[in-house]
Amino acid sequence: MYRKRAYANLTGRRFDVALKDALASIAGDAFLDKAYHCAGRAAYELGRYEDAKGYFEKALESRPRDDKYLKELGQTEVRRNLDLETLQSDYAKL
């Protein structure tokens, strides 16, 4: 139930609620990879790239060759690295 509602909230761009529902579904969901994927998408949209990376990695533990999960993990790592570079650059300017 939580996983499907999490995806509905993700589609509705209610990322904070989607993340909470996805995490709640992990405890009792037989489709853990989908719950972690949804949590990863929601965390990504909230700008929580380190969390998103962890969730996508968890999804890949269940389905290590899933192209969609691999692609989104890669995009998350690129975005996370860009944010780190920006932070370091901004810090250096201080």
The full set of domains in the chain, from first to last, is 2-93 (1.25.40.10)
pLDDT above 80: residue 23: yes
Half-sphere exposure of 46 (CA within 13 A, CB side): 20
Structure tokens at 51: 């969390």
Comparing 90 with 45, which gets the higher pLDDT?
45
Q: What is the mean pLDDT of residues 46-74?
A: 95
Closest CA to 42 of 13, 81, 82, 79: 13
Which pTM was predicted?
Answer: 0.74
